[in-house]
A = this chain, B = another copy of it.
Amino acid sequence: MPINERPGSSQSGQPDVRATGTASAPARGRRPPHGEPVVDRALSLLAAFDADHRVLTLAELSRRSAIPLSSALRLAARLVSWGALERDGAGRYCVGLRLLEVATLAPRGHGLREVALPFMHDLAEVTRQHVQLAVRDGMQAMLVERLSARQAASVEYRTGGRLPLHSTGVGLVLLAFAPQEVQEELLAKPVYSEPGNRLIPADTLRRTLADVRLKRLAVFRREDESETIVSIAAPVFGQDETAVGVLGVLVPKRVAQPRLLGLAVQTAARSISRELGARRSSGAPDSQL
């Protein structure tokens, strides 16, 4: 996270000075940031947390955000006072419930999720495996929701986490239905399989994407150490006929029946699309039959 360290000087014709509240400035005459850079710093504190670091001491927070201890303490206090961070009994910091309260208002996340959830349940009851809902965020997919049967195989990605577009079933659907420029940006660079780290030739990926568009379905096999997992995913369309998300199931290869599961996934994805106001979902049947 680059810190937008604006020069603290006189472009506005004002004399040059430190912001208040930073009397204990670090050494070497470096001016503490003020104005918008402070917002960037506060956001850096939030970005210091990840799935493997859900609880951080002040020292860890300072190190992971590259913000000096005293500034980190002050900024964290503001975030705690608002509820974006919380402190545990030992004084360590974690992400707070108030952030979750605001974040669940994201239309592309929980807005879509609220419409999709009943249909995801139907699909989960039929398949007894993982059912996933994802959206594209830039050049990655983000997992908005997953329903998992208790007997379902363990999986790699967490709700709220990010997935590569080119080597997951849900990612391939999002990429196939993304604007041309997003596809070209991804195809312009070498793309490697995950896991395995083998180069995927751009032509191969182009053919895969064309096939996903034609069938409105991706079937992706992910070979993990223990077991091959099959991901079967279909696009969800919104009112303006663009793909707003993707619905998928994850099943171990030994129980996967991609054609049957594909029909179930497409059915549920169409139901969600119709609920979102897409006309496309009431058009011709999906073409893989």
**Which residues does A use to contact B, with CB under 8 Å?**
1, 4, 6-9, 11-23, 32, 34-36, 38-40, 42-43, 46-47, 49-51, 54-55, 74-75, 77-79, 82-84, 86, 94-111, 114, 117-118, 121-122, 124-125, 135, 137, 142, 144, 147-150, 158-162
Given A111-B54, A142-B101, A16–B17 Cβ distance below 8 Å? yes
A106–B111 CB distance below 8 A: no
Report chain B residues within 8 Å CB of A16: 17
Contacts A11-B20, A114-B159, A121-B150 aside, 19 further interface pairs with beta carbons under 8 A come to A15-B17, A19-B34, A19-B35, A34-B38, A38-B39, A39-B42, A39-B78, A42-B42, A54-B105, A95-B105, A95-B106, A97-B135, A97-B142, A100-B106, A100-B110, A118-B148, A121-B124, A121-B147, A125-B125
Report chain B residues within 8 Å CB of A7: 20
Q: Is the interface of A mostly helix, strand, loop or mixed?
A: mixed
B47–A21 CB distance below 8 A: no
Report chain B residues within 8 Å CB of A122: 150
Closest residue on chain B to residue A240 by CB atoms: B89
Expressed in whole angstroms, the minimum distance between the Cβ of A246 and any Cβ of chain B is 14
